[in-house]
Amino acid sequence: MKLRVLSVAALIAAVPASAAGLINPVFQDHAVLQRDQPIRIWGTASPNARITATLGTNTAEAVADAQGRWHSELSAMTAGGPYTLKLTSSDGTSQTLSDLLIGDVYLCSGQSNMAFRAMEAIDAGPDIQVSANDAIRLMSVANITKATPQTELPKPGTWGAAEPKTVVNFSAACYFFGRELQKSAHVPLGLIQSAWSGANITSFMSAEVLKRAGGNDMRLDALAIYAHDPKEGVKHWGEIAESYWTKKLGYALWKAPEKSATWAVAPKDLGIWTEWGVPALAHYAGHVWFRTSVSLTEEQAKQAATLSLGTITEEDQTWVNGAFIASTFGYGEPRKYELKANTLHAGDNDILIDVYCGWRGCGMFGAPEARAITLADGSSVKLNGSWRYLMDATASTPRIPWGATAGITMAYNGMIAPLGDLGLKGVLWYQGESNSSEPEAYRGLLKEWMADWRQQFKAPNLPFLIVQLPDYGLPPFKPEESDWARLRESQRLAVNEDGHAGLAVTIDIGDHMGLHPSNKQEVGRRLAQVAKRVVYGDANAKSGPAPQSVTRKGGVVTVRFSGINGKLAAVNAADPIGFELCDSKACQFTPAHIQGETVTIAVPKGLTPTKLRYCWGDGPVCTLYDSSRLPAVPFESKITP
């Protein structure tokens, strides 16, 4: 494979966007600005122009640089408002923002459970009907991906007061957090939603930090090429894909598809493969290869052409006659690929497509006649022959780096970088589902991500409030390994290792059969409870039982808990369930007993346990709570002799 290397700096340097006014459009009428810290504002003007900003009696000046960019700081202000921000430039332009409040600003990010709308929450109707509150302001950031960091939101949102029409489509977890928090904070709140369903954490990390974290060079280099020249980037990624598959299979499948004897006939209309009635595909997420052929005359074959494949979900890599053509990420997006002259030949032409699905609802869609080769002379040849398919359950293939959800840095560039160094009180993060296939790596990624955003927002101690993944999947009949549980543990450990982060435990309010639990009111309430302690320093605001130590004395293992509201308690029984003792070979469920702020577990005969687990599994049933009905956090811990 021919290697092309571009500096990651190509992905870090941002090109300023043109401004509609003097100030960056993240600042608008009805916005909330962060209290009790210098108020940073910025924008664009004529080169070398002098800008004066006045907020109430607070005034600051700045001089634009040679590119017209300016940045200024107004003195810190206490909570209050409304205020008017007036900006004037020595070039004669001016701008006024009205109805601004000074309060606490929270950025709410993550994937689908943060994007989950208030209208979808359980029994949300009454909550939405009474949501009008001028002291809570909302702004949603549009889903935009970019290969390089942007200085302005490509599609600026609008700030607006909470009311039914603004709350209904806003993040449920974010809104219910704000509603609950204001009961104790008593200041205006600004809530910014910037989330993308299905997003991997790496999509929300900067290229600079991904470079530092290691293990991302191949994708970063490919993305740098793509940022400079998308066609060249796609070509380069094709070489990477071919190298991977050749090594895995031992031959180039796209050049010799007949070498595989396991091709099966696909339904004529294709569509979602989990609905084909094939048992092996019923719950399958992974790679499915599709293959067909089309016969052309010599006159047809010598023309340039366009290959139309209908729509595809989620990610495809396409070859024609053994030559890589293109690779695209997208949900239900049309695939139309240009074919250069001499790509086709007289006779049968093989078309091979690798479709990758990371979740569900994947396949090739559209009417069969939508799949065709359109020739330069305007005529077209339908791909109406039979399609065959081949399964490959490999899940560790390199993912397209410019994909919105499984890619790297793309959501950060389009949805976070444009927020600049906006003053924030804290960040809410509900994400991890899309990283569950590599749960142990998530611990380091989460720590790097927090450091990344603290650097951007110029807040070394910026608080992060992390939602631990809820229960999802059937309760286990016996102890078992679980990527979902392992990712929860990575979240817990990363938070414990950070001095300014908190964990909202949701192990009891998930949905065993659904990835998107609807009780977001309780998620918001628990996040607010964590904020009271982590952000506002309320030592009396407990977040629920968490292990402080796990020790063994004789035949008894003792877990001491902290973070308890009142007392430890078990629901539906005198003793809690969900504890496992593990040796080097296996784990086994063991009875447990509550004694004050501890839980004791008798060691079974013949077992020499080295670690203890609680509430382990995809969708475990666990019954240890405190008096306020907050659940104990799931955990795994070594046993100290």
Q: Are residues 362 and 262 in the same domain?
A: yes
Q: Are 541 and 532 in contact (CB under 8 A)?
A: yes
pLDDT of residue 12: 45
Measured between alpha carbons, how far is 306 from 426 in angstroms, rounded to an integer?
49
Where are the extended beta strands (E) located within 7-162?
32-34, 39-44, 50-55, 58-63, 69-74, 80-89, 94-110, 133-140, 160-162
pLDDT of residue 14: 40
Sign of torsion over alpha carbons 168, 172, 174, 179: positive
The residue that leads in pLDDT, 564 or 262, is 564
Residue 260 above 80 pLDDT?
A: no
The residue that leads in pLDDT, 633 or 242, is 633
Sign of torsion over alpha carbons 502, 563, 116, 366: positive
Q: Are 274 and 281 in contact (CB under 8 A)?
A: yes
Phi, psi of 239 (to 5 degrees): -65, -40
Residue 381 above 90 pLDDT?
A: yes
- Asked whether residue 195 is domain-assigned, the answer is yes
Phi, psi of 408 (to 5 degrees): -125, 135
Q: Are residues 517 and 551 in the same domain?
A: no
Those residues whose C-beta lies under 8 Å from the C-beta of residue 271, and which sit 6 or more positions away, are: 363, 364, 365
Measured between alpha carbons, how far is 158 from 533 in angstroms, rounded to an integer?
31
Chain-centre distance of CA 437, in angstroms? 14
**For the chain, percent of residues with pLDDT exceeding 90:** 80
Measured between alpha carbons, how far is 507 from 615 in angstroms, rounded to an integer?
8
Q: Which domain holds residue 297?
A: 257-392
- Map residue 576 onto helix, strand or coil: coil
pLDDT of residue 341: 85
Instruction: State if pTM tops 0.75.
Output: yes
Residue 3 above 60 pLDDT?
A: no
pLDDT of residue 394: 64
- Asked whether residue 494 is domain-assigned, the answer is yes
Q: Are residues 126 and 147 in the same domain?
A: yes
Residue 350 above 90 pLDDT?
A: yes
- Asked whether residue 148 is domain-assigned, the answer is yes
Query: What is the rounded average pLDDT of the residues 215-230?
Result: 94
pLDDT of residue 361: 82
Measured between alpha carbons, how far is 543 from 563 in angstroms, rounded to an integer?
6
Q: Are 612 and 601 in contact (CB under 8 A)?
A: yes
- Map residue 394 onto helix, strand or coil: coil
Q: Are residues 132 and 160 in the same domain?
A: yes
Both tokens assigned to 363: 């396949």
pLDDT of residue 18: 34
Q: Are residues 414 and 523 in the same domain?
A: yes
pLDDT of residue 454: 99
Q: Are residues 435 and 369 in the same domain?
A: no
pLDDT of residue 58: 96
Measured between alpha carbons, how far is 587 from 620 in angstroms, rounded to an integer?
15
Residue 528 above 70 pLDDT?
A: yes
- Asked whether residue 565 is domain-assigned, the answer is yes
pLDDT of residue 13: 42
Residue 7: pLDDT band with limits 50, 70, 90: very low
Q: Are residues 461 and 565 in the same domain?
A: no
Both tokens assigned to 24: 């960056």
- Asked whether residue 90 is domain-assigned, the answer is no
The three state secondary structure string of 34-72 is ECCCCEEEEEECCCCCEEEEEECCEEEEEECCCCCEEEE
Those residues whose C-beta lies under 8 Å from the C-beta of residue 126, and which sit 6 or more positions away, are: none
Instruction: Read off the pLDDT of residues 570-625 as tens digits, 9 standing for 90 and up.
Output: 999 999 999 999 999 999 999 999 999 999 999 999 899 999 999 999 999 999 99
pLDDT of residue 360: 75
Query: What is the rounded average pLDDT of the residues 518-536?
Result: 98
Residue 231 DSSP one-character state: H
Query: What is the rounded average pLDDT of the residues 315-322?
Result: 92
Q: Are residues 496 and 575 in the same domain?
A: no
Residue 259 above 90 pLDDT?
A: no
Instruction: Read off the pLDDT of residues 79-125 as tens digits, 9 standing for 90 and up.
Output: 999 999 999 999 999 999 999 999 999 999 999 999 999 999 999 99
Q: Are 237 and 403 in contact (CB under 8 A)?
A: no
Chain-centre distance of CA 244, in angstroms? 26
On average, the pLDDT of the chain sits at 92
Both tokens assigned to 291: 């293959």
Q: CA 358, 4, 199: angle at the middle one, nearest 5?
A: 25
Measured between alpha carbons, how far is 543 from 530 in angstroms, rounded to an integer?
6
Q: Are residues 138 and 187 in the same domain?
A: yes
- Asked whether residue 119 is domain-assigned, the answer is yes
Q: Residue 548: which of 490, 589, 485, 598 has the closest Cα?
A: 598
Instruction: Read off the pLDDT of residues 48-88 as tens digits, 9 standing for 90 and up.
Output: 999 999 999 999 999 999 999 999 999 999 999 999 999 99
Residue 250: pLDDT band with limits 50, 70, 90: confident
Q: Are residues 369 and 276 in the same domain?
A: yes
Residue 385: pLDDT band with limits 50, 70, 90: confident
Residue 485 above 70 pLDDT?
A: yes
Q: Which of 479, 511, 534 is the last residue of a domain?
A: 534
Residue 481 DSSP one-character state: -
pLDDT of residue 257: 86
Peptide bond connecting 82 to the previous residue in cis, omega within 30 degrees of 0: yes
Residue 16 above 70 pLDDT?
A: no
Q: Report strand pairing: 556-562 vs 598-602.
A: antiparallel
- Asked whether residue 368 is domain-assigned, the answer is yes
Measured between alpha carbons, how far is 129 from 413 in angstroms, rounded to an integer?
36
Q: Are residues 337 and 266 in the same domain?
A: yes
Residue 539 DSSP one-character state: T
- Asked whether residue 22 is domain-assigned, the answer is no
Q: Are residues 175 and 264 in the same domain?
A: no
Q: Which of 534, 560, 586 is the last residue of a domain?
A: 534
Measured between alpha carbons, how far is 52 from 59 in angstroms, rounded to an integer?
7
Q: Which of 392, 422, 441 is the last residue of a domain?
A: 392
pLDDT of residue 330: 80
Cα–Cα separations (whole angstroms), residue 517 to 122, 213, 386, 494, 617: 9, 32, 41, 24, 17
Check which CATH number belongs to the domain holding 194 and give it.
3.40.50.1110
Domains of the chain: total: 3
Residue 451: pLDDT band with limits 50, 70, 90: very high
